Structure 1
Amino acid sequence: MTPVQKRIHQAAMQLFAEKGVGDITVSELAQVAGVARGTIYNNLSSVESLFEEVAGQLSAEMNRRVVNSADPQLDPAQRLANGIRFYIRRAHDEPQWGSFITRYASSNKTLQKLWSGPPVHDVLSGIAQSRYSFPEEQLTSVMSLIGGAVLAAMLLVLEGHKTWRVAGSETTELVLRALGIAPEEARSIALQELPPLAAAD
C-alpha cells in the first residue's frame, strides 16, 4: 500500500473499533486520516468494502510478522507460545489495533484467518513431533480454544485487569497444558524471554 492508503486504513481501523461497521462517514474518515474527501474516493475501490480490506490487511500483516519473528527450527511449542504472546503484547502496544481485533475477530471470517496461518502450522508441527497429546481430528476445536483464549487475554490487557506480560504468560501456560505439555515445562516455556515482533513490511 502507498503511505496515503496506509493512513486511510489506520484511520478506518480506529473508527471501526470505536463506532462499529456501517457507522462511519467519508468525512469522518478523511478527517481522522488527515486527507481530503477526494483522496478517500481516489484510494478506495468502494467505501462499503473498506472494512473487509482493512480486516484482510491486518490478518495478512500480523501473520507475516509472526512468521518472520520465529526461527523455523525453534521448538513448535515455543513458537506457538511466542505467537500467543505477540498478539497480547501488541494489544498493549497498539490499543486501537487490539480493540479492532477483539471486537471483530470472533465473528468476521476474514479476521478468523489470524488463527488459520502460523498457529495451525505450529500446532501441526507439535503433533508431528509428539509435543501434544490430542488427536488431530480435534484440531478445529483446539484452534478455537487458542483463538478464544488469546482474545480474552487481549481484553484483560485492554481493560487494565492484567499487564501484557502476566496475561501473556498465564494464557500461554494454560494453552500449552491443555494441549498436553507437562505443567512445569508449560510454565517454563511461557516465561521465556519474548523476542521482538518483526517489523511490518
Structure 2
Amino acid sequence: MSPVQKRIHDAALRLFAGKSIGEVNVSELAQVAGVSRGTIYNNLSSIESLFENVVAQLSSEMNLRVAKSAHPDMDPAQRLSNGIRFYMRRTHEEPYWGRFIVRYAATSATLQDMWSGPPVQDVLSGLALHRYDFRQEQLASVVAMIGGVALTGMLLVLEGHKTWRDAGSDAAELILRALGIGAKEAQAIATKELPALPPP
C-alpha cells in the first residue's frame, strides 16, 4: 500500500472497530485519515469494498507474521501457544485492531479464514506427532474452539479484566490441555517467554 492508502486503511480500521459498515461515511473517513474527500474517492470504490479490503489485509497480514515468528522445527504446541498469545499482546498494543476482530470475526467469512492458516497447520502437525489426542474428524470443532477461546481472551484484554499476558497464557494453557497436553507441560509452554512478532 502507498502511504496514503495505509492512512485510509488505518482510519477505516479505527472506524469499523466501533461502527457498523453503514455508519461510516466518506467525510468521517477523510477526517480520521487526515486526507481530502477527493483522495478517499480516488482510492476506493465504496465503503463496502474498503471494509472487505481491510478484512482481507488484516487476516493475511497477521497469519504471515505469526508464521514467520517460529522456526519450522519448533514444537507445534509451542507454535500454537505463541500464536494465541500474539493475538492477546497485539490486542493490548493496538486496541482498535483487537476490537475490529472481536466485532466481525463471527460474521465475516474472510476474517474467519484467519483461524484456518497457521493454527490449523500447528494442530495438524501436533496431531501427526502425537502431541495432541483428538480424532481427525474433530478438526473443525478444534479450530472453532481455538478461535472462540482466543476471541474471548481478546475481549478480556479489551475490557481490562485481564492483562494480555494472563489472558494469553490462560487461553493457550487451556487449549493445550483440551488437546491432550498434560497440565504442567501446558502451563510451562503457555508461560514461556514470547518472542517478538515479526514486522509486516
TM class by shorter chain equals: over 0.9
Deviations 1:46-98 (A, max 9, x none): 33211111000100100010011111110000000000000011000000000
Aligned to 2:127: 127
Please report the TM-score for the alignment, with normalisation by the length of structure 2.
0.98
How many Å apart are 1:38 and its aligned residue? 0.7
Which letter maps to 2:154? M
RMSD, aligned CA: 0.7
* 1-structure distance, mates of 2:47, 2:164: 34
Give the whole-Å Cα distance in 2 for the aligned partners of 1:74 and 1:116.
19
Give the Cα–Cα distance (whole angstroms) in 2 for the partners of residues 84 and 55 of structure 1. 19
Give runs of aligned pairs for residues 50-199 of structure 1, distance below 5 A.
50-199=50-199
**Quick one: distance in 1 between partners of 2:146 and 2:81?**
10
What residue identity is the alignment partner of 1:63? N
Q: After TM superposition, give the deviation of residue 44 of structure 1 in Å.
A: 1.1
For each residue in 1:21-48, what CA deviation from the matched residue of structure 2 results, as whole angstroms up to 9, or x when unmatched?
2111100000000001111111113332
Deviation at 1:130, TM superposition (A): 0.5
Structure 1 ranges of 4+ moved more than 6 A: none
Give structure 2 stretches of 5+ with no counterpart: none
Asked whether the equivalents of residues 30 and 37 of structure 2 are also in contact (C-alpha less than 8 Å), the reply is: yes
SS in 2 for 1:134: coil
Q: Percent identity?
A: 67
CA contact (8 A) 2:55 2:110 kept: yes
Counterpart secondary structure, 1:80 = helix
What residue in structure 1 maps to residue 30 of structure 2? 30
Looking at structure 2, the residues matched to 89 and 47 of structure 1 have their Cα atoms a distance apart, in angstroms, of 29
State whether residues 16 and 100 of structure 2, in contact with CA within 8 Å, keep that contact through their aligned partners in structure 1.
yes
Distance 1:152 1:172 in 2: 12
Letter of the structure 2 residue corresponding to residue 83 of structure 1: G
| Equivalent-residue separation in structure 1 for 2:134 and 2:163 (angstroms) | 31
Q: In structure 1, what residue type is equivalent to 2:124?
A: L
Amino acid at match of 1:123: V
Taking structure 1 as the reference length, the TM-score comes to 0.98
Residue 44 of structure 2 contacts residue 50 of structure 2 at CA under 8 Å; is this kept in 1? yes
Q: Distance in 2 between matches of 1:35 and 1:43?
A: 11
- Name the residue aligned to 2:20: 20
SS at structure 2 position matched to 1:45? coil
Distance of 2:177 and 2:101 partners within structure 1 = 25
1-structure distance, mates of 2:49, 2:22: 10
